[in-house]
C-alpha cells in the first residue's frame, strides 16, 4: 500500500510538472510565437525549406518569338535539431519536509529555463541579418520606429511583421509617442496568438506590432543591444520532440530524478525579410 500511494503521488506530481512547464514555456518569452514553426515527423532528421526567385517579364514584339527563359532559381535552408535538457534530483526527505509543493516549484524552473534558452537562441539570430538598422548610441523614438516600419514595407516583408526589443528601448518609444500626443496603441495583428503574446505587446506603429523581451542583453562594452524587425517568414523553429518531462526512481538515493528534454533548432530562413535594430537599452530615469 505504501509503495502504491507513493507512486500515485509521484504520478500526480508529474502531471503538475508537465502542466507548469507548459504554462511557463508559453508565457515566459515571445519570440518562438512570432516565427514559423515546423515539426519533424517520425523517421525524419531534416526539413528543407525552399525559396524561389523572382521572375522577370520582358517587352514583346508582335510576331516575334520569346527568347528569354525564366529561371526558378530555387534555394533552400536545411533545418535540423539538437537536444537540450536539465535535471533535478529530489530526495524523499526533501519532498516530505518541504513547506511548498516542490514539484510545482521545479516545474516552474524547468519551464522558465527552457523558454529562456529557446528565446535567447532566436535573439542570437538578430545580428545575423544583412540589413542593419538603428545605431550604437541611438534611442528608439517614434521617428525611428516609423522609419524601421517603412523600411520593412519598402523591402516587402510579408505580414505579420513584428519588432522585438528590450523593455527599456520600448519605454523610450512609448515616451516619445506620448510626447507628441498621438495614439499608437492597437490590437495585435491577425495571424498572431493574442493569448500567448498579450503580456509582451507594447505598441503598434504602421501596422507593426512591437513586443518587449527582457532576455535581450547589452552588447559587450556598449549601452545598446540588438533587437529586430522581421516578418514571421524570416526565421523558423523546428522541433523533433516538444519539451517533455520524465521521472525515474533512484531507490539507493531515496529520491526521484525529474528530467526535461527539448529537441529543436532555430534558423534564419529568409534574410530579405528581417533586419537587426540596434538601440540604447539603458534604464529610464525614474526620479
The per-residue pLDDT for 95 is 78
Count of beta carbons in the 10 Å neighbourhood of residue 147: 14
**Cα(55)–Cα(163) distance, integer angstroms:** 30
pTM: 0.81
Q: Which residue has the higher pLDDT, 123 or 107?
A: 123
C-alpha cell at 198: 498579450
Domain ranges in the chain? 13-46+81-280
- Do residues 98 and 14 make contact, with C-beta atoms less than 8 angstroms apart? no
- Find which of 26-30, 192-196, 272-276 is predicted with most confidence, using mean pLDDT: 272-276
The per-residue pLDDT for 141 is 92
Q: Considering the domain 13-46+81-280, what is its CATH architecture?
A: Alpha-Beta Complex (3.90)
Confidence of residue 3 (pLDDT cuts 50, 70, 90): very low
pLDDT digits (tens, 9 = 90+) for 138-156: 999 999 999 999 999 999 9
Residues belonging to the chain: 287
Count of beta carbons in the 10 Å neighbourhood of residue 95: 17
**Cα(183)–Cα(274) distance, integer angstroms:** 26
Count of beta carbons in the 10 Å neighbourhood of residue 117: 15
pLDDT digits (tens, 9 = 90+) for 4-48: 234 445 555 556 666 666 666 666 788 998 999 988 888 787 888
Residue 112 above 50 pLDDT? yes
C-alpha radius of gyration, the chain, whole number: 24
pLDDT digits (tens, 9 = 90+) for 199-232: 777 788 888 999 999 999 999 999 999 999 999 9
The per-residue pLDDT for 1 is 23
Determine which helix (DSSP H) or strand (DSSP E) holds 24, and give its type and residue range: helix 2-27
Determine which helix (DSSP H) or strand (DSSP E) holds 153, and give its type and residue range: helix 142-154
Amino acid at each position: 500500500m505504501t509503495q502504491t500511494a507513493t507512486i500515485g503521488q509521484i504520478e500526480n506530481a508529474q502531471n503538475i510538472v508537465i502542466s507548469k512547464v507548459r504554462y511557463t514555456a508559453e508565457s515566459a518569452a515571445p519570440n518562438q510565437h512570432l516565427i514559423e514553426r515546423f515539426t519533424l515527423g517520425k523517421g525524419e532528421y531534416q526539413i528543407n525549406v525552399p525559396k524561389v526567385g523572382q521572375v522577370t517579364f520582358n517587352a514583346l514584339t508582335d510576331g516575334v518569338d520569346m527568347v528569354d527563359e525564366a529561371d526558378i532559381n530555387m534555394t533552400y535552408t536545411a533545418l535540423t535539431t539538437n537536444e537540450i535538457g536539465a535535471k533535478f534530483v529530489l530526495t524523499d526527505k526533501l519532498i516530505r519536509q518541504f513547506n511548498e509543493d516542490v514539484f510545482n516549484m521545479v516545474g516552474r524552473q524547468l519551464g522558465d529555463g527552457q523558454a529562456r534558452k529557446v528565446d535567447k537562441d532566436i535573439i542570437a539570430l538578430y545580428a545575423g541579418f544583412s540589413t542593419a538598422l538603428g545605431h550604437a548610441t541611438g534611442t528608439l523614438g517614434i521617428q525611428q520606429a516609423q522609419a524601421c516600419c517603412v523600411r520593412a514595407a519598402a523591402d516587402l516583408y510579408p505580414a505579420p511583421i513584428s519588432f522585438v526589443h528590450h523593455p527599456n528601448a520600448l519605454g523610450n518609444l512609448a515616451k516619445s509617442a506620448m510626447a507628441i500626443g498621438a495614439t499608437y496603441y492597437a490590437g495585435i495583428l491577425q495571424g498572431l496568438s493574442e493569448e500567448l503574446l498579450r503580456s509582451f505587446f507594447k505598441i503598434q506603429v504602421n501596422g507593426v506590432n512591437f513586443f518587449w523581451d527582457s532576455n535581450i542583453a547589452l552588447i559587450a562594452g556598449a549601452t545598446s543591444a540588438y533587437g529586430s524587425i522581421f516578418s514571421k517568414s524570416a526565421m523558423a523553429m523546428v522541433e523533433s520532440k516538444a519539451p517533455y518531462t520524465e521521472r525515474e526512481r533512484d531507490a539507493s538515493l531515496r529520491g526521484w530524478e525529474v528530467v526535461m528534454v527539448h529537441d529543436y533548432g532555430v534558423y534564419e530562413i529568409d534574410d530579405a525579410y528581417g533586419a537587426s535594430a540596434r538601440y540604447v537599452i539603458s534604464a529610464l530615469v525614474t526620479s
